[in-house]
Structure 1
Amino acid sequence: MTKKTKWSIDQAHSDITFKVRHLMIAHVKGSFKTFDANIYTYGKDFATAEIDVWIDASSITTGDTDRDEHLKALDFLDVKNHKQITFVASTIGKMDEKNMHELWGELTIVGIKQNVKLDVEFGGLLKDPWGNERAGFSVTGKIKRADWGLTWNTALETGGIMVGDDIAITCDIEVTNVGFEDLKMELDNAKE
């Protein structure tokens, strides 16, 4: 009988943020406030992790209500028709000497799937003061919004554009070990 470990995101100690160039001279930062994931590993080896993340697209916030409403509208995330942004991991590279992994997977935004590479720094594994086993990760990457058809923009009188194409992603994630899940049923089904 094979078992795998289930990990739960600690919402109070995790965030998903992004940054994009604005007016060619500065950056706008934002975050998604509602997200979760199914995360499983064999034992405690995160190189074996199965990761399925979902983000509530309507939870986007940049600190400006008008801008947030525009980002939720048809020009960008179209949250009425595309409620979730998802990421499903496909490959996790071995950890290098700097505790970094390459994480590959499918990122789906506005219904369009694209394969992306993210960099993951493993922060460590420990027991907290209450006896819970926890692990921490920093995930970073850069995507081009045009790859998902998100091309809305405005030309500036002085040249250039209002919104850059490159989106820098940073996720700080803390997970808690919530126990084992029996894989016997899953393995039995695979044999049929």
Structure 2
Amino acid sequence: MATTKWLLDPTHSELGFKVKHLMISNVSGTFKSFSAQMETEDTDLAKAQIQLTAQVASISTNNDQRDAHLRNSDFFEADTYPELQFLSTRVEKVDNETFHLFGELTLKGVTGPVKLTVDYNGVTNDPWGNERAGFTVNGKINRKEWGLSYNAVLETGGVALGEEVKISADIQMVKEAVSVAA
């Protein structure tokens, strides 16, 4: 079997998250700078190896003051831990369009297991002859398991931030040019 390499198209991909704020609404954010690569046996997604790296300093919630707070020691400590990484450990095929992606997330110096749901949106050729594959990824983590434990108690007895972080991504991968096996 030939190994097929796929690289992220960053201009057509997004990596985002949501967390409860004041327990009544969500704050959404994205990582503006991230890269990913995927290796498959031919085009078999069930045997994919996936790696993603995001630059923590690229976090954006469309609020400069909040973004600066997220980068400091209360949250991500971007100066000390400049990247978050995901490395897949296995893929489980649910059906032709749905997969469970298991892997290790390293964030703020802590590595732990995650399970994500991946919807395979298909493959197509772009106008320049490149083969592209699209994916929608969803999952959730408990931020405290990665050392993101900052919170504030409200006068009403609740807390400012939820522990559950919903992860979402829309990913477009481009197949590398085929090379001849030795």
- What SS does the aligned partner of 1:146 have? helix
Equivalent residues in 2 for 1:150-189, closer than 5 Å? 150-180=148-178
Distance change in 2, residues 1:79/1:182 (3 Å): farther
Aligned-partner Cα distance in 2 for 1:183–1:111: 38
Other-structure match for 2:89: 90
Residue 54 of structure 1: CA displacement? 0.5
Aligned pairs, number: 182
Other-structure match for 2:125: 127
1:117 aligns with one of 88, 98, 115 = 115
Residue 179 of structure 1: CA displacement? 2.3
Instruction: Choose 1 or 2 for highest CA Rg.
Output: 1
Equivalent residues in 2 for 1:3-14, closer than 5 Å? 3-14=2-13
Other-structure match for 1:38: 37
Residue 129 of structure 1: CA displacement? 2.1
1:55 is aligned to 2:54: yes
Give RMSD over aligned pairs. Answer: 1.4
1:74 is aligned to 2:105: no
Aligned-partner Cα distance in 2 for 1:6–1:112: 28
Gaps of 5+ in 1: 185-192
Other-structure match for 1:187: none
Residue 117 of structure 1: CA displacement? 0.2
Residue 38 of structure 1: CA displacement? 2.5
Distance change in 2, residues 1:181/1:105 (3 Å): farther
Residue 178 of structure 1: CA displacement? 1.1
Query: Quick one: which amino acid aligns to residue 104 of structure 1?
Result: F
Residue 181 of structure 1: CA displacement? 5.7
Distance change in 2, residues 1:159/1:181 (3 Å): farther
Kept after mapping to 2: 8 A contact 1:6/1:181: no
Residue 8 of structure 1: CA displacement? 1.2
Residue 95 of structure 1: CA displacement? 3.7
Kept after mapping to 2: 8 A contact 1:4/1:180: no
CA shift digits 1:53-77 (9 cap, x unpaired): 1000110000111100010001100
Aligned-partner Cα distance in 2 for 1:179–1:32: 28
Q: Following superposition, which runs of at least 4 residues in structure 1 exceed 3 angstroms of deviation?
A: 180-184
Q: Identity, % of aligned pairs? A: 41
